[in-house]
Amino acid sequence: MNYNLNSLPAGESRSSTWSGVKSLLKLVEQERKTLIIALCAVLLNAFLNLLGPFLIGHTIDKYILTKQYHGVLVFSGILLAMYVTAFVSSYFQTKLMGGLGQRIIFELRNSIFNKIQQLPLAFFNENKAGDLISRVNNDTDKLSQFFSQALMQFISNIVIMTGAGIFLVVINPELGLAALVPAAFILIFTKVVSPWIKKKNALNLKSTGAMSAEIQESLNNFKVIIAFNRRDYFRQRFHQANQDNYKTAIGAGLANNIFLPVFGFFSSIAQLTVLSFGVYLITKGYFTIGLLVSYLSYATNFYNPLRQLAALWTSFQLALAGWDRISQILSLNNNLVTIGYDDTVNPTNAVLEFRNVHFGYPGGYEILHNISFAMEQGKTYALVGPTGGGKTTTASLMARLYDPLEGTILLKGKDIRTYSPEERAEKIGFILQEPFLFTGTVRENILYSNALYRKFSNEQFIKVLQEAKLEGLLNTFDKGLDTEILSGGDSLSIGQKQLIAFMRAVLRKPELLILDEATANIDTITEQLLGQILSNLPKETTLVVIAHRLNTIENADEIFFINSGEVTRAGSFKEAVDRLMHGKRLS
């Protein structure tokens, strides 16, 4: 499955605007009651604003021209009450939609994050963390702004426009049609230009994600930048990303603002038409001054919302572009599915077995070719071979971080795909060369994968460590279990990080424990401590060690040599050393 988000087609990019509206409205299905109340407030506000010009025209013709000022005061009071009521309804609607927008962004970010957690390792290998962060933060924020600020304004303006258009045609059909002709040109212009605007906004969001990814990568690797004094290299890369973002932002800004002058021009044409034709009708006795004032107000009420819709339409196109990027994530599925029990697979007594396994990474060539081997319970196996030979890939398949292209992997005599992620994690432990630690304490990081002990007090947990013969390792930390760990574990040495990773894995008592170069970057003393941990593993635990250091593989029960996509038994320790030292390759 292709997990590269930047190579996937956008979810709605080829769909009509109406399809985009329907997809966005699905996000608010749970907020139907709030939407109905807000819509009622919008309709009340629109009705009161539309009634005002009619009353003003009536007051001019019946009371001002005849100098009946009592009537003027009465209708002024009515108008004041109407506008105060409209203000209150508008405030109420704004408050409702503001809360709705925040709830939507809260739920949407949860959905995105939960979806990301469900996706396989291949997804993270094909996408940059900075771009994912941009989608979770920036793109959802565009949607929140649309729902909390633009949606009801959008509906309100459409209602006012529709009502004003009806009044224009009812009061005088000929003048009304003349006033609405410019609106037809606006509609055609909007239809033609909208896809271009959406495309420009999508490019800008993509470049923002790329710049976020560049910043995140630079900050994560700042030690390397300092060590090699290559600030210039990352400065150039950031400059390029920033330049690309600047260009797309200029393009998006131009696209987003193109509606305002066009709408303003046609609005002025419409008002000039109404004024000219209206004065002509007054001179002919077909119109009154009050009606002309009302008519001009309704023309303004028709075209002013159009101007506002220009800005709101931009917000809508931006929300659609953001939703496209978000829906790309939400539409993905984990290709590592759990399958039912397959009774056609011949069972085995081995704890782990590869049967005719082929594997290659997405978009690349095949790395492992038809490999088969078995590992027995309680034994120690070493995987050796030159760099790039496929050792880590083989280990990743053992832990089902990936599925093979062909062949079967058996765990405890069953297809490994029949185990749920929870069952598989209980049976298999995986320790990497550079373990990742979370911000918190040593205790929290050890318990990260040991839910059984999470409610234990420190005293209770220390007893568990004593029983596992791990308590002595806490002496390497200043405050024992309560030692604080900074972001990324930078406050600890590599050896201390590895001790935590080992304790985390060993406490789970896995049936299969995989060490991927886990002792490559540590000192001899720490390696001895780790050796003590491994010696305390249950006898039933099968240990798989990937290493280049000879002392690490010396005590292995069996050694596999992995190179050029093939796995072969290396035979004796001497033969394995010979292959490693002389770079003997298999073809």
Segment 60-96, tens digit of pLDDT: 888 888 788 888 898 889 989 988 998 998 888 888 8
CA dihedral 31, 36, 42, 43 (to 10 degrees): 160
Superfamily of domain 26-330: ABC transporter type 1, transmembrane domain (1.20.1560.10)
Question: What distance in Å separates the CA atoms of residue 134 and residue 353, rounded to the nearest whole number?
Answer: 41
CATH class of 352-582: alpha beta
10 pLDDT above the threshold of 70: no
Q: How far is CA 418 from the centre of its chain?
A: 29
- Two structure tokens written together for 271: 């008002």
Element at 60 (helix H, strand E): none
pTM over 0.85: no
Helix 17-25 vs helix 289-330: angle between axes, to the nearest 10 degrees? 70
Per-residue pLDDT tens for 448-477?
777 788 888 888 888 988 888 888 888 888
Domain ranges within the chain, ordered by starting residue: 26-330, 352-582
CA distances, 142 to each of 211, 247, 318 (Å):
18, 20, 7
- Strands, E assignment, 314-456: 352-360, 366-375, 380-384, 406-411, 414-415, 428-431, 440-441
Question: What distance in Å separates the CA atoms of residue 138 and residue 322, rounded to the nearest whole number?
Answer: 8
Question: At a CB cut-off of 8 Å and minimum separation 6, what does 291 contact?
Answer: 57, 61, 171, 172
Amino acid at 397: L
**What SS3 string covers 496-565?**
HHHHHHHHHHHCCCCCEEEEECCCCCCCHHHHHHHHHHHHCCCCCCEEEEECCCHHHHCCCCEEEEEECC
Question: What distance in Å separates the CA atoms of residue 476 and residue 473, rounded to the nearest whole number?
Answer: 6
DSSP 8-class letter at 365: -
Question: At a CB cut-off of 8 Å and minimum separation 6, what does 411 contact?
Answer: 351, 352, 419, 424, 427, 428, 512
Output the pLDDT for position 81: 93
Element at 454 (helix H, strand E): none
User: Quick one: which of 119, 203, 152 has its CA closest to 31?
Assistant: 152
Question: At a CB cut-off of 8 Å and minimum separation 6, what does 530 contact?
Answer: 498, 499, 502, 518, 519, 522
Q: Give me the chain's average pLDDT, please.
A: 82
Query: CA 42, 46, 52 angle in degrees (round to 5)?
Result: 150
- Two structure tokens written together for 336: 């590592």
Output the pLDDT for position 407: 92
Range with the poorest average pLDDT among 160-164, 326-330, 405-409, 534-538: 534-538
